[in-house]
Chains A and B, each alone.
Chain A
Amino acid sequence: MRRVIVKRLAFAVPLTLLASFLSFVLVALSPGDPAVTILGEGATPEQYAALRSQLGLDRPLVIQYGDWLWHVLQGDLGRSIITKEPVLSGILGRATPTMSVIVGTTIVSALIGVAMGIHSGVHGGVSGRVVDMLSLVGFAVPHYWVGPALVVVFALGMPLLPATGYTLAGLVLPVATLAISGAAAIAKQTRDSMRATMQGEYVRALRARGLPERRIVYRHALRNASVPVVTVVGLLVVQLLSGTVIVESIFAIPGLGGLAVASTQQHDLPMIQGVVFAFTMVVVVVNLGVDLLYLVLNPRARVA
């Protein structure tokens, strides 16, 4: 058991390193020169060179990366080229709204998706077709279309909810925007794995022992069907990191997604690097959580 956990942890380290190194190399190879970005076009070559050595940009790439990593380990992610604000405080200041959207969407999607999936997996029929349709629509209809459509109906048409801003009521529409596709994906996976599980030999054996059907569905089948569902929920969280970028832009939520877009538009590379690093950490934590949940749910996975 402990060996398994250590193995999973060992995967997280290269993941973090790879993500940070990729973004670092990309930045270093970028055709633009940060010195030009900061000083503008009109400075003298000496001024550019001075700034470059001040920023440490004249050293070999690996040294720069090691240096950056060393600072990251000490909690120093550098400073924004544009605002001069420390990257870490910029990120921390924007983290809460983004996490609220992601956590809220994950919970709502999981609740609705699992409920729908169980129903359609056990009873089939109409609810099976509904899940099929929903998952296709959820896949195909872009978030940037659903979001504004919800705004038109629920904020402008009947002023029930605020269209923008980071408040509790303001979270309803962004979460709804993302949860439609999220719930659909979870419902489909839950349905498929419930269906397969209910065909299993041990379900027949449980029935033959005279156990109530509800108990068979909720205690036994659901438990066994949940492993692939947990995988999909984990993937959903990773996708939500992308989705939140769109949703924060639509609903004017002051979060990491907006920060990422703004830094991209301004080519603020240290800030982008910081956001990538923050998002990678979220992915690492989510993946670890998913792996640990596997161990809880599936006794067979506990042997390394």
Chain B
Amino acid sequence: MRRLELLIPAAVLTLVVLAVLFAPLLAPHQPLEQNLDDVLGSPSAQHWFGTDSLGRDILSRILYGGRVSLSGAAIALAVFVALGVPLGLWAGFTSGPADRTITWLADLLLALPTVIILLVVLAVFKDNEVVTMVALGVTGSTSMIRVVRGATKAVRGQVFVVSAEGAGLNQWHILRRHVLPHVRGPITVQATFFAATAVLVETSLGFLGLGVQAPRPTWGNLVGESIQQIQPAPWFLLITGGVVALVALCVGLVGDAIRDMTATEPDLPSPSRPARARPGTASTSPSSGVLALENVTVCHGGVTPLVTDVSFALRAGEVVGLVGESGCGKSMTARAALGLLPDGVELVSGVVRVDGADVAALSSAARRRLLGRLIGYVPQDPVPSLDPSFTVGSQLAEVVATEPGLSRAEVRERCADLLRRVRVPDVPRVLASYPHQISGGMAQRVNIALAMALRPRILIADEPTTALDVTVQAEILDLLRTLAAEQDLAVLLVTHDWGVVADLCERAVVMYAGEVVEISPVATLFARPSHPYTRALLRADLRGSTPFSQLPTIPGVVPAAGAWAYGCRFADRCVLAADECRAAPVPLRSTPDGVARCVRSDELQKAEVR
């Protein structure tokens, strides 16, 4: 498919270029050969494209005309590349005064309308085609300079270039071996699009009667002539303009195809989606919690499972930790609970209940009303989670004002009150600030205030302190604990930090490779973990000693989504793994005060006791 998108326009272009190149051999008539007995003849066997007002064969004139137009475009393209690539490389590679000068000049040149500059050149050099096309290449090269400079800077910043420089290689070598291969893609794309632009501009000038003059045909002046005959012979315009449009379109298509091929982002596969399972009534018994997930399975693209069969519930006033290494599906589970999954990811089966109601069964408007009012959300990255274009005050007011019947003064007072409750010291200043003007810790307080604005009963916090300084982390956690206790909030706290769990949570849900492996009260979990993964995580953290450190890793890695083992998904990293573990999927089994997904969980308990 991709290949066809490149091959077809490339083939058409090659044909046109070859036909123009071999015009003297292919043209059925001489381009200037007149026949006043056969003027403006319609297309016929003798004259495939008809004849013009002097009875000249249009096909032959187009073939010869292409020689002027295409060679003009080729000159411009050559200058464009010869000037743009080295200057762009130079600017991107050196930075400093050379870079600033080149960029400044390029910006200046970019600000001038091309055709106007070319008109001056044409006026001064009396219709000199070559000079004009050189000028076109020079003015156009600004875009090449920009792109190459940007790409070079990006490559230069990468480690391998820095290290290559350190190894004492000369600059030219680095440029050729390391930089050029990476900027070749953008260079090709730029050159392709400029080639199309050059053809269009060259023919526009010809159309205006500038450049190479009639009777010598060019694609541009042929269009100009055809417009004079638009009434009696509309096909003349159709053909002459059509040739140029066809060439420009094919060059553009080639450019698009090359850009798609050299683009760095891999396209996600888009497999057909299976019908969405709607268990509804068939699900397990409704739980008593304010927030309950029942057998939730989330897939990417409808096929790759990210989270499988996750069930747990939060009671009012309870703080539950959702724990695991990155890539275990914690965040995806939290987002499923919020009902805000990323594009391409969906809830394939299972039920999310908020206050007993199946969220999927609600209308989208009703679902939206749950957000903010029943469920609040505290994000991981505080500053990017605030709209950069609005002040903190206006973002707070926007949420507060969704409650009907508040006067402007009441809204303002309530915003200030919310900030005071999250212990913002200088309320008026923060209200008037834009997100980029406040610190990360302050921004996280604002996010919490925004989440609490409509007094929800559930708070979902996705690693709320990971992005913050250690000292600020403690303050934010303290704030969350106080709010939860004061307002009887159910909090789902996604984290990979045992310190946070120990500090705040009553229970913990441990996830591994997209599934729940253990749910236990925190006290039990720390004393007697029921799953080898929990134990390994705890031990890894203890070695890390400081209470807020991130988890040092357990040997091995979390398997990628979709690459999970048929039996126990932890078996490859588990010190207790046995044959029975790999034989069949391991179900969740009850433990004295929770659940665990391990066939040898009893032995583990005994081992811990000893």
Q: Residues on A close to B: CB < 8 A? A: 11, 14-15, 18-19, 22-23, 26-27, 29-32, 136-137, 139-145, 148-149, 151-152, 156, 199-202, 204-213, 215, 220, 223-224, 238-239, 241-243, 245-246, 249-250, 260-261, 263-265, 267-269, 272-273, 275-276, 279-280, 283-284, 287, 297-300
B115, B244, B251: which contacts A145 (Cβ < 8 A)? Answer: B244
Q: Are A145 and B388 in contact (CB under 8 A)?
A: no
- CA–CA, A40 and B227, complex, Å: 33
- Of the 9-residue stretches B42-50, B90-98, B366-374, which lies at the interface with chain A? B366-374
- Whether a CB of chain A sits under 8 angstroms from the CB of B179 is no
Q: Are A27 and B244 in contact (CB under 8 A)?
A: no
Q: Are A205 and B230 in contact (CB under 8 A)?
A: no
- CA–CA, A213 and B112, complex, Å: 41
Q: Are B372 and A210 in contact (CB under 8 A)?
A: yes
- Whether a CB of chain A sits under 8 angstroms from the CB of B223 is yes
Q: Are A15 and B399 in contact (CB under 8 A)?
A: no
Q: What are the residues of chain B within 8 A of A204 when measuring CB–CB?
A: 340, 379, 385
- Whether a CB of chain A sits under 8 angstroms from the CB of B114 is yes
Number of A-B residue pairs, CB cutoff 8 Å, is: 220
The smallest beta-carbon distance between B197 and chain A, in angstroms, is 8
Q: Are A32 and B126 in contact (CB under 8 A)?
A: yes
- CA–CA, A18 and B104, complex, Å: 12
- Whether a CB of chain A sits under 8 angstroms from the CB of B253 is yes
Q: How many residues of B contact A (CB 8 A)?
A: 75
- CA–CA, A239 and B252, complex, Å: 18
Q: List 6 A-B contacts (CB under 8 A).
A: A26-B121, A27-B124, A140-B245, A140-B251, A144-B227, A245-B115
Q: What are the residues of chain B within 8 A of A265 when measuring CB–CB?
A: 209-210
The smallest beta-carbon distance between A185 and chain B, in angstroms, is 12
- Of the 9-residue stretches B304-312, B446-454, B531-539, B560-568, which lies at the interface with chain A? B446-454
B124, B244, B371, B388: which contacts A208 (Cβ < 8 A)? Answer: B371
- CA–CA, A171 and B200, complex, Å: 23
Known: A27-B120, A144-B204. A223 touches B389 (CB 8 A): yes
Among all A-B residue pairs, the 3 with the closest Cβ atoms: A210-B372, A145-B241, A242-B115
- CA–CA, A23 and B112, complex, Å: 12
Q: Are A272 and B377 in contact (CB under 8 A)?
A: no
- Whether a CB of chain A sits under 8 angstroms from the CB of B434 is yes
B116, B241, B252: which contacts A242 (Cβ < 8 A)? Answer: B116
Q: Are A242 and B387 in contact (CB under 8 A)?
A: no
Q: What are the residues of chain A within 8 A of B388 when measuring CB–CB?
A: 202, 224, 298-300
The smallest beta-carbon distance between A210 and chain B, in angstroms, is 3
Q: What are the residues of chain A within 8 A of B453 when measuring CB–CB?
A: 209
Q: Are B204 and A246 in contact (CB under 8 A)?
A: yes
The smallest beta-carbon distance between A53 and chain B, in angstroms, is 22
Q: What are the residues of chain B within 8 A of A137 when measuring CB–CB?
A: 249
Q: Are B241 and A144 in contact (CB under 8 A)?
A: yes
Q: Are A143 and B122 in contact (CB under 8 A)?
A: no
Q: What are the residues of chain A within 8 A of B123 when measuring CB–CB?
A: 27, 30, 263-264, 267-269, 272
Q: What are the residues of chain A within 8 A of B399 when measuring CB–CB?
A: 209-211
Q: Are A30 and B124 in contact (CB under 8 A)?
A: yes
- Whether a CB of chain A sits under 8 angstroms from the CB of B119 is yes
Q: Are B389 and A18 in contact (CB under 8 A)?
A: no
- CA–CA, A143 and B223, complex, Å: 11
Q: What are the residues of chain B within 8 A of A238 when measuring CB–CB?
A: 111-113
Q: What are the residues of chain B within 8 A of A145 when measuring CB–CB?
A: 223, 237, 241-242, 244-245
Most chain B CB neighbours (cut-off 10 Å) among A143, A269, A299, A300: A299
Q: Are B372 and A249 in contact (CB under 8 A)?
A: no
Q: What are the residues of chain B within 8 A of A298 when measuring CB–CB?
A: 388-389
Q: Are A15 and B249 in contact (CB under 8 A)?
A: no
- CA–CA, A237 and B196, complex, Å: 20
A139, A205, A209, A213: which contacts B252 (Cβ < 8 A)? Answer: A139
Q: What are the residues of chain B within 8 A of A243 when measuring CB–CB?
A: 115
- Whether a CB of chain A sits under 8 angstroms from the CB of B234 is yes
Q: Are A210 and B210 in contact (CB under 8 A)?
A: no
- CA–CA, A241 and B399, complex, Å: 45
Q: Are A140 and B116 in contact (CB under 8 A)?
A: no
- CA–CA, A27 and B204, complex, Å: 23
The smallest beta-carbon distance between A32 and chain B, in angstroms, is 6
Q: Are B113 and A279 in contact (CB under 8 A)?
A: yes
B204, B384, B390: which contacts A201 (Cβ < 8 A)? Answer: B384
Per-residue contact bits, chain B 274-293, to A (CB 8 Å; 1 contact, 0 not): 00000000000000000000
Q: Are A209 and B223 in contact (CB under 8 A)?
A: no
- CA–CA, A176 and B551, complex, Å: 62
Residue of A nearest to B112 (CB): A19
Using A29-B124, A260-B116 as known contacts, list a sample of 10 further A-B pairs with CB atoms less than 8 Å apart, ordered by residue number in A.
A31-B126, A142-B200, A142-B244, A199-B343, A205-B377, A205-B379, A210-B371, A210-B399, A265-B210, A267-B123
Q: What are the residues of chain A within 8 A of B244 when measuring CB–CB?
A: 142, 145
- CA–CA, A136 and B196, complex, Å: 11
Q: What are the residues of chain A within 8 A of B196 when measuring CB–CB?
A: 139-140
Q: Are B389 and A15 in contact (CB under 8 A)?
A: no
The smallest beta-carbon distance between A140 and chain B, in angstroms, is 4
Q: What are the residues of chain B within 8 A of A208 when measuring CB–CB?
A: 338, 340, 371-372, 375-377, 379, 451
- Whether a CB of chain A sits under 8 angstroms from the CB of B402 is yes
Q: What are the residues of chain B within 8 A of A141 when measuring CB–CB?
A: 245, 248-249
Q: Are A148 and B436 in contact (CB under 8 A)?
A: no
Q: Are B249 and A26 in contact (CB under 8 A)?
A: no
The smallest beta-carbon distance between A146 and chain B, in angstroms, is 9
Q: Are A142 and B248 in contact (CB under 8 A)?
A: yes
Known: A242-B115, A279-B116. A30 touches B253 (CB 8 A): no
- Whether a CB of chain A sits under 8 angstroms from the CB of B231 is yes
Residue of B nearest to A248 (CB): B208
The smallest beta-carbon distance between A47 and chain B, in angstroms, is 23
B200, B340, B343, B434: which contacts A207 (Cβ < 8 A)? Answer: B340
Q: Are A261 and B113 in contact (CB under 8 A)?
A: no
- CA–CA, A140 and B107, complex, Å: 25
Known: A204-B340, A204-B385, A300-B436. A267 touches B126 (CB 8 A): yes
- Whether a CB of chain A sits under 8 angstroms from the CB of B4 is no
Q: Are B111 and A15 in contact (CB under 8 A)?
A: yes
Most chain A CB neighbours (cut-off 10 Å) among B207, B248, B338, B389: B389
Q: Are B208 and A249 in contact (CB under 8 A)?
A: yes
A22, A201, A215, A280: which contacts B379 (Cβ < 8 A)? Answer: A201
- CA–CA, A276 and B126, complex, Å: 17
Q: Are B111 and A205 in contact (CB under 8 A)?
A: no
- Whether a CB of chain A sits under 8 angstroms from the CB of B520 is no
- Whether a CB of chain A sits under 8 angstroms from the CB of B386 is yes
- Whether a CB of chain A sits under 8 angstroms from the CB of B160 is no
- Whether a CB of chain A sits under 8 angstroms from the CB of B203 is yes
Q: Are B119 and A210 in contact (CB under 8 A)?
A: no
- CA–CA, A284 and B342, complex, Å: 43
- CA–CA, A9 and B406, complex, Å: 45
Q: What are the residues of chain A within 8 A of B389 when measuring CB–CB?
A: 220, 223-224, 297-299
Q: Are A264 and B210 in contact (CB under 8 A)?
A: yes
Of residues 201 to 231 in B, which have CB atoms within 8 Å of A's CB atoms?
203-204, 207-210, 223-224, 227, 230-231
- CA–CA, A245 and B398, complex, Å: 48
Residue of A nearest to B231 (CB): A156
Q: What are the residues of chain B within 8 A of A267 when measuring CB–CB?
A: 123-124, 126
The smallest beta-carbon distance between A304 and chain B, in angstroms, is 14
Q: What are the residues of chain A within 8 A of B253 when measuring CB–CB?
A: 136
Residue of B nearest to A19 (CB): B112
- CA–CA, A19 and B384, complex, Å: 41
Per-residue contact bits, chain B 227-266, to A (CB 8 Å; 1 contact, 0 not): 1001100100100011011001101110010000000000
Q: Are A202 and B116 in contact (CB under 8 A)?
A: no
